[in-house]
Chain A
Amino acid sequence: MMTAPQSSRRFFLQAAAMAGGGLMLRVSLPRHAEAAQQAGVLNAYIRIAPDNTVTILSKNPEIGQGIKTSLPMVIAEELDVDWSQVHIEQAPLDEVKFGRQFAGGSLSTPMNYEALRKVGAAGRHMMLAAAGQAWNVSPAECRTDRGTVNHAPSGRSLTYGALAERAATVALPDLDTLPLKDPKTFRIIGQPIPGVDNAKIVTGQKLFGIDTTLPGMLCAVYEKCPVFGGKLVSANVDDIKALPGIHDAFIVRGKSTGDMQSLQDGVAIVAKNWWTANKAREKLQVTWDDGPTAQQSSAGFAEQAHKLAHAAPAAWLRQNGDAASALQHAAKRVEAAYSYPFLPHMPLEPQNCTAHFQDGKVVLWAPTQNPAPGRRLVATTLGIEEHDVTVNVTRIGGGFGRRLRNDYMAEAAWIAKQVGVPVKLLWTRQDDMRHDYYRPAGFHFFKAGLDGQGKLTAFSDHFVTFGRNGGLADSAAMDSNEFPAQLVPHLQYGQSVMELGIPTGPLRAPRSNAMGFVFQSFIDELAHEAGQDPVAFRLSLLGEPHVLKGSADPMRAFNTGRMRDVLTKVAEVSSWSNRRSLPARTGKGVAFYFSHMGYFAEVVQTTVSPAGEIKLDKVWVVGDVGRQIVNPSGAVNQVQGAALDGLGAALGQGVTLDRGRVVQGNFDSVKPLRMNQAPPVEVHFLTTDHPPTGLGEPALPPVIPALCNALFAATGKRVRSLPIDTGMLRA
């Protein structure tokens, strides 16, 4: 039986008795808090069983960001239970019940932290009330301690489990006035707690999407046109069907809507095991109609971008003062052209999905960061209702933004419908690298002016980016507030667009992962041109601590004071002022970046051999993500991973397009960072009186310019294009 819900301005709380005598608590945001809910918020379920185990449902997909551990920690803290009592269950997709379920944008922590504390506190309050009733004493005389309630005057105590049934019947507390713990007394929040799936991971138990096995399941591969959006003309599927071990092979007609997120034309091959299905592709012959994208190439875009750079931008994103005239009258003028490539996500677990279609309904097991749009896509693709699509979210072998898209779900569902038994679709590494939603490439043509004192007075960027279907390509935009937008009197950002047939999308720290590189590298050039210390130059650009305009949400507005503090701290911990005493061809570089509400400043030290080989000596990271790091173990791991991820991308990653297709296919041509390249990453957090924010992403953007600036310090050569061409670094 559910008690009448208790609603407050922000929350909605319900309690119920569980069959067998436990307590179930559900907290959510009231419906009118639509905007917040859209952003990925809370809906927490806690069950307290008579045996005193506490089960917390983890509603968001786990992609390695540690959310399955850190958000339950917050509830457990305020509930005042022992972490060893807590079990975590992955919630299935049900947004009516759980609210928005996704992983992305480093949003889980900021959206959920205070709310989840209240959830835990409500449970604790109800346990106290239940104990008071049971003993006929005032709850104020009772204390909780790790899953028990004690009444010191009488020496009595009961576990939460024993109280759970009664707690389900007490009056619900008012969430707005409910007292929370003093953070000084935290025993779980702020402690390094290992990931809840670690035991399964290290013993090789089934956990990931690719590990899904169902009775009678077959395995499938799906061959698509190497040119994006190409159409299938014909294929020798009868020859394929005749091969030993092949269960079926058939042509699939796409449901293309032009955005490349829906089912594309292709050939499905199904066999008892995956290797046999994939092997048959060697014999597969397909005639494709490549379509218009086959004209596109990386070299062609670079040429076009440089042509566009000579003309005025097609549009102005921002114009302050009179940049053109200020440039003309500057004591010193600096110009530089920067570019960066299309980047694949390449999570180590290639895209896959298992589906079983039966009686007009389909059940999927999907490693997706974003299951709800996946369900919609599957429903549309199969022409069935959404409520006939069930999505089980598995653990995910890396997301990085790739799994915000659900193309593999549509493919698996379609193939399963055709075959009639459970089917696991698995892409090869090449499929994964050649059918991605790439981080868009981009080109920046900078001009800046310094006055006689080396002060930056004029700044201009002509950004050449990509468009699609009349708008900008996904994740190809630049923010008109991009630093140093509000700090230079004469400043202009212009933009020109090239039409693109290649699908693009968000990659870890979308937009920032590229903007950080170009802006923080060019600012470093200006510091050197001004004859100033790159840290001091940046501090003087940031000016006195103040909040820049640009976002109605104060959390999203750039606070120059917070950035000054992380920058100052990173200079200190990295012994920045001693950098002149480093040996020849060793250098330190610095950069900062504000993204995902987090402030990060980083220093990289590198040594370059006479042959141009880069050795990464060390990275120092200082971050400010507010007043509380929930799980320092996961936090440091995330920050180290993000910094190393950026370094890997700068050193060896990028795909090139030729005749509309991606040239690279595996880790020999797009190179992930390896152990022998990975430097130690020293991580510091500044604790500031601001709400806690996420850290899966904001540590990435500054590391790339910090590296390139270090390479300049070591060699005098300025890297303006990624991935880094080590040839240019030769002595």
Chain B
Amino acid sequence: MAFTIRINGAAHSVDVDGEMPLLWVLRDELDLKGSKYGCGAGLCGACTVHVNGAPTRSCLLPISAVGDAQVTTIEGMSAQPVGRRLQEVWQALDVPQCGYCQAGQIMAAANLLTHTPRPTDADIDNAMAGNVCRCATYNRIRQAIKHVAETE
């Protein structure tokens, strides 16, 4: 089936099975490799994108359910002030180890800071608990989120 979806402000047309999750449309059809596959079951958050601003596990979202929603991926985050700021601080504080989870972490953190510009530790726990970092860079992620909040 043909679908036209809007990603990072641009329209993209693909012809795929309607059940195909957005993650695989992004990665295999549109060659946007920033969103990652980690579990395919909503358990790790590596595939997190924003759908109309809400953080969403793209591995579970069938393309047929995307409709004309605005999808933002890590590749589009530099266009948003909070996204760009997170990307800068993530680099400067040297958050990544292997780096595989970090796109998803930034997507989750961006959503947190958009709604809670001054998050507490508990806010950070709640917002970030769905995003696994197998290298366990959690101390740095927390530090980076706080740094962005404090220097806003």
Q: Are A349 and B98 in contact (CB under 8 A)?
A: yes
**For residues 14 through 43 of chain B, which have their beta carbon under 8 Å from a beta carbon of chain A?**
16-17, 19-21, 24, 27-29, 31-41, 43
Contact of A667 with B39 at beta-carbon distance under 8 Å, contacts A203-B78, A273-B24 already known: yes
Cα A191 to Cα B92 in complex, Å, equals 13
Q: Are A349 and B94 in contact (CB under 8 A)?
A: no
Q: Are B97 and A194 in contact (CB under 8 A)?
A: no
Q: Pick the residue among A208, A633, A637, A672 that contacts B134 (CB under 8 A).
A: A672
Q: Are A397 and B33 in contact (CB under 8 A)?
A: no
Cα A715 to Cα B39 in complex, Å, equals 35
Q: Are A219 and B136 in contact (CB under 8 A)?
A: no
Q: Are A396 and B136 in contact (CB under 8 A)?
A: no
- Of B34, B106, B128, B140, most buried by chain A (CB within 10 Å of CB) is B34
User: Contact mask B128-152 → A, CB, 8 Å, 1/0?
Assistant: 1111111111111110000000000
Q: Which B residue sits closest to A681, measured CB to CB? A: B139
Cα A347 to Cα B92 in complex, Å, equals 25
Q: Are A398 and B135 in contact (CB under 8 A)?
A: yes
B10 to chain A, nearest CB (A): 15
8 interchain residue pairs of minimum CB distance: A204-B34, A64-B98, A397-B100, A204-B74, A644-B136, A64-B97, A201-B99, A273-B28
Contact of A202 with B102 at beta-carbon distance under 8 Å, contacts A194-B94, A273-B16 already known: yes
Contact of A347 with B41 at beta-carbon distance under 8 Å, contacts A202-B91, A202-B106, A637-B97 already known: no
B109 to chain A, nearest CB (A): 10
Q: Are B98 and A396 in contact (CB under 8 A)?
A: yes
Cβ of A38 within 8 Å of any chain B Cβ, yes or no, is no
User: Contact mask B35-74 → A, CB, 8 Å, 1/0?
Assistant: 1111111011010000000000000000000000000011
Contacts of A429 in B (CB 8 A): 38-41
A81 to chain B, nearest CB (A): 21
Cβ of B126 within 8 Å of any chain A Cβ, yes or no, is yes
A671 to chain B, nearest CB (A): 9
Cα A273 to Cα B21 in complex, Å, equals 12
Q: Are B98 and A680 in contact (CB under 8 A)?
A: no
Cβ of A500 within 8 Å of any chain B Cβ, yes or no, is no
Cα A211 to Cα B96 in complex, Å, equals 18
| Dominant SS among interface residues on chain B | loop
Contacts of B135 in A (CB 8 A): 64, 348, 398, 641, 645
Cβ of A666 within 8 Å of any chain B Cβ, yes or no, is yes
Q: Are A666 and B43 in contact (CB under 8 A)?
A: yes
Q: Are B124 and A192 in contact (CB under 8 A)?
A: no
Cα A667 to Cα B106 in complex, Å, equals 21
Contacts of B96 in A (CB 8 A): 64, 195, 197-198, 201-202
Provide a sorted-by-A list of 22 A–B residue pairs whose CB atoms are within 8 angstroms.
A66-B97, A193-B94, A195-B99, A201-B102, A202-B86, A203-B74, A204-B34, A213-B33, A275-B20, A348-B46, A348-B100, A348-B101, A349-B38, A396-B98, A426-B37, A634-B94, A666-B39, A667-B43, A673-B136, A675-B125, A676-B125, A678-B136
Q: Are B129 and A676 in contact (CB under 8 A)?
A: yes
Contacts of B37 in A (CB 8 A): 210, 350, 426
Contacts of A194 in B (CB 8 A): 91-94
Q: Are B100 and A398 in contact (CB under 8 A)?
A: yes
Cβ of A303 within 8 Å of any chain B Cβ, yes or no, is no
Cβ of A579 within 8 Å of any chain B Cβ, yes or no, is no
- Of A245, A274, A633, A676, most buried by chain B (CB within 10 Å of CB) is A676
Cβ of A346 within 8 Å of any chain B Cβ, yes or no, is yes
Q: Are A667 and B24 in contact (CB under 8 A)?
A: no
Contacts of A667 in B (CB 8 A): 39, 41, 43-44, 132
Cα A567 to Cα B141 in complex, Å, equals 29
Cβ of A395 within 8 Å of any chain B Cβ, yes or no, is yes
**For residues 76 through 123 of chain B, which have their beta carbon under 8 Å from a beta carbon of chain A?**
77-78, 86-87, 90-103, 106
**For residues 636 through 686 of chain A, which have their beta carbon under 8 Å from a beta carbon of chain B?**
637-638, 640-641, 644-645, 648, 666-668, 672-676, 678, 680-681
A-B contact sample (10 more), CB < 8 A, given A197-B96, A349-B38, A395-B99: A66-B97, A202-B91, A275-B20, A347-B134, A348-B134, A348-B135, A396-B98, A637-B94, A640-B139, A641-B137
Cβ of A206 within 8 Å of any chain B Cβ, yes or no, is yes
Cβ of A90 within 8 Å of any chain B Cβ, yes or no, is no
Binding site for B on A (CB under 8 A): 63-66, 192-195, 197-199, 201-208, 210-211, 213, 219, 244-245, 272-276, 279, 346-350, 395-400, 426, 428-429, 633-634, 637-638, 640-641, 644-645, 648, 666-668, 672-676, 678, 680-681
Q: Pick the residue among B27, B33, B98 that contacts A348 (CB under 8 A).
A: B98
Cα A672 to Cα B45 in complex, Å, equals 12
Contacts of A349 in B (CB 8 A): 36, 38, 98, 100
Q: Which B residue sits closest to A62, measured CB to CB? A: B98
Cα A244 to Cα B17 in complex, Å, equals 10
Q: Are A680 and B34 in contact (CB under 8 A)?
A: no
Q: Are A637 and B20 in contact (CB under 8 A)?
A: no
Contacts of B126 in A (CB 8 A): 676
Contacts of A638 in B (CB 8 A): 97
Cα A194 to Cα B16 in complex, Å, equals 40
Cα A399 to Cα B19 in complex, Å, equals 32
Q: Are A348 and B97 in contact (CB under 8 A)?
A: no
Contacts of B132 in A (CB 8 A): 348, 667, 672, 674
Contacts of A245 in B (CB 8 A): 17
